[in-house]
A = this chain, B = another copy of it.
Amino acid sequence: MNFQELLNNKVETVEKIVMSYLPKEEGMQSRIMEAMNYSVLAGGKRLRPLLLSESFQMYGGTGEVYKPFMAALEMIHTYSLVHDDLPAMDNDLYRRGKKTTHAQFGEAIAILAGDGLLNYAYETAAKAFSMANTQDVAKAFAVLASKAGIYGMVGGQTVDVIAEKEHKSLSLDEIMYVHANKTAALLQAPLMIGAILAGADDAQVSLMEKVGYNVGIAFQIQDDILDVTSTFDELGKPIGSDAEQGKETYVTLKGLDEAAKDVERLSKEAMDILLGVPGDHAFLEALISHLITRRK
């Protein structure tokens, strides 16, 4: 089986697990479940739950305690997209070829569906308390909340949204802050939580935090690189759209060569860390390399 076939198989397994935790569409409030499930089932790479399950297995985790957290991560990722797409935010009517949640259900229900998903993520993760060592679950919980919140993803979104709304150019420090929090934080969380729930020690959890950081930053720099180097056909969106909008990116500030070198370095650091972990990490390596070196 090649990497792509293996990836497809694994994503299928991940989707089954995530779907098994979605709420039933019943009761007087069933519309909210419909909107939540519509949003989650609209597709996506399922990258975050996949990273969680790979990290858990790499550290030799056993049992099912990681599953509620896989679903929770995907719900949090999805709520952030639902709210990002709202008219007051990015005002997107389509995502992955499907109507966004507010385009399909109206704005009020989309706001509530996002709230519902965020809250249900914690409600779902709380199911893990009866499944394993409560101290580990509590630790995983704290990591999840911290990486998803104002010191993580919501913080990154805030700086990004303010720049957008106020037509402000970001400094390199601010760009790094947005990449680290809007993107990397929710990649760090699954890698760290997988390790925690498998019983890995704090030093290993810190290594996973570093891997997630590097992958997230490298992914975003690669995104900026593709924005200036790809042809329209490869990228599927207007080329150079960042520069045309006068938007500063990692590439406009540091130059293409430097940016490419940084991707290389971040990627190598992440791989070196993985190679030091005793468990089986062949797929995780391939996945990370696939993510960072993608051509579109």
Interface set of A (CB-CB < 8 Å, partner B): 23, 27-29, 31-33, 36, 79-80, 83, 86-89, 106-109, 111-112, 114-116, 118-120, 122-123, 126, 129, 134-135, 137-138, 141-142, 145-146, 148-151, 154-159, 161-162, 165, 173-174, 177, 181
- Docked pose: A145 CA to B125 CA in angstroms: 10
Please determine whether B31 and A162 come into contact, CB atoms closer than 8 angstroms: yes
Q: Is the CB of A150 within 8 A of B118?
A: no
B150-A23 in contact (CB<8A): yes
Do B158 and A146 have beta carbons less than 8 Å apart? no
Give A130 Cβ to nearest chain B Cβ, in Å. Answer: 8
Query: Could you tell me the dominant secondary structure of chain A's interface residues?
Result: helix
A119:B149 contact, CB within 8 angstroms: yes
Do the beta carbons of A111 and B88 come within 8 Å of each other?
A: yes
Q: Which B residues touch A122, using CB under 8 A?
A: 122, 141, 145
Contact B142–A138 (Cβ < 8 Å): no
Q: Does B32 contact A158, Cβ atoms closer than 8 Å?
A: yes
- The CA of A108 and the CA of B165, in the complex, are separated in Å by 9
Compute how far the CA of A131 lies from the CA of B208 in the bound complex, rounded to whole angstroms.
27
B161 in contact with A109 (CB, 8 Å): yes
Among A115, A155, A157, the one with the most B-chain Cβ atoms within 10 Å of its Cβ is A115
CB-based nearest B residue for A156: B29
Task: Let me know if B134 and A138 touch, CB within 8 A.
Answer: yes
Since A33-B150, A115-B115 are in contact, a sample of 9 more A-B pairs with Cβ atoms closer than 8 Å, ordered by chain A residue number, is A27-B151, A28-B174, A29-B154, A32-B158, A88-B106, A88-B108, A114-B115, A115-B154, A126-B141
Please indicate which of the listed interface residues A83, A118, A158 has the most CB atoms of chain B within 10 Å of its own CB.
Answer: A158
- Kindly list chain B residues whose C-beta atoms are within 8 Å of the C-beta of A123: 142, 145-146, 149
Task: Report the separation of the CA atoms of residues A107 and B111 in the bound assembly, to the nearest whole angstrom.
Answer: 12
Cross-chain contact A89 with B116 (CB below 8 angstroms): no
**Residue of chain B at shortest CB distance from A83:** B111
Closest to A79 in B: B115
Q: Are B137 and A108 interface neighbours, CB within 8 A?
A: no
Q: List residues of chain B with CB within 8 A of the CB of A142.
A: 123, 126, 129
Q: Which residue from B116, B129, B173 sits with its C-beta under 8 Å from A154?
A: B116
* Alpha-carbon gap, A165 to B31, bound state (A): 13
Contacts of A165 in B (CB 8 A): 106, 108
* Residues on the B chain within 8 Å of A116, using CB: 149-150, 154, 158
Closest CB of chain B to A133's CB: distance in Å? Answer: 9
Which residues of chain B come closer than 8 Å to A148, judged between CB atoms?
119
- Chain B residue nearest to A114 (CB atoms) is B115
